[in-house]
Amino acid sequence: MSPRLWLVVPAAGQGRRMGADRPKQYLPLAGRPVLARTLARLHEAFPEARLCLCLDLDDGHFDPAWVPFADWRRSPGGSERVDSVINALDAIAPDAADDDLVLVHDVARPCVTVDDLTRLLAAIVDDPVGGLLAAPVADTMKRDDGAGRVRSTESREGLWHAFTPQGFRLGLLRRALGEALSAGVAVTDEASAVEALGLSPRLVEGRRDNLKITHPEDLALAALILSAQQQV
């Protein structure tokens, strides 16, 4: 019997770098809020999954009508992304088994494709560790000197851009995040916490248009990507 699939979507960020009047997950993208676009794409790939959406307690923008999942719940956002994810895992733990799969996906990545989502799940469903969507680094990498000048050129061999979703068993992910925070390890993504346990998550190559909306120009680029994907 296959493990149940849970989706965790942190959506409590304020998106201050966008300089907008509301968090970036609520900005319009091709006629719908970014959050609604992201959830729709996840639902298209995994309609039977169970969703936990991490929202700020004082969120005045969220509309439940944007959630297409039949089985979903909300959990409180934390001060950092990792705190939101831990809150979500705690919220689903009473109804989940330790070997249930959890995919954590950034709400600001609405352009992830259904094909990438399903390939990731197929790649990790029997993997003892788990894994993440990623893409090999294509650009020349520079390290600065702290004063705005190049100190050195770094080899890009073996370097990957980490995307989401990132998927792991519930029990493993809860332990990894808890131990990382207790040890003072910087948790930049779920995989980094699992790596801190001495484990090696699987890299599943995904499309480079899995854009994370961070800066104002990213919103227009995301709209172009979605339009191009629809024409393929």
Q: Angle formed by the axes of helices 216-231 and 34-45, to 10°?
A: 40
The model's pLDDT over 190-227, given as tens digits with 9 standing for 90+, comes to 999 999 999 999 999 999 999 999 999 999 999 999 99
Host domain of residue 19: 5-231
The model's pLDDT over 114-128, given as tens digits with 9 standing for 90+, comes to 999 999 999 999 999
Compute the CA torsion angle 20, 222, 101, 9 (nearest 10 deg): 10
Q: CA dist 18 to 22, 27, 113, 177, Å?
A: 9, 10, 24, 28
Residues 149-177: what's their mean pLDDT?
97
The model's pLDDT over 41-86, given as tens digits with 9 standing for 90+, comes to 999 999 999 999 999 999 999 999 999 999 999 999 998 999 999 9
Q: From the CB of residue 174, how many other CB atoms can be counted at a distance below 10 Å?
A: 19
The number of domains in the chain is 1
Which CATH number fits the domain that encloses residue 101? Answer: 3.90.550.10
* 1 has pLDDT over 90: no
Distance CA 129, CA 134 (A): 16
Strand-pairing partners, residue 5, are 101
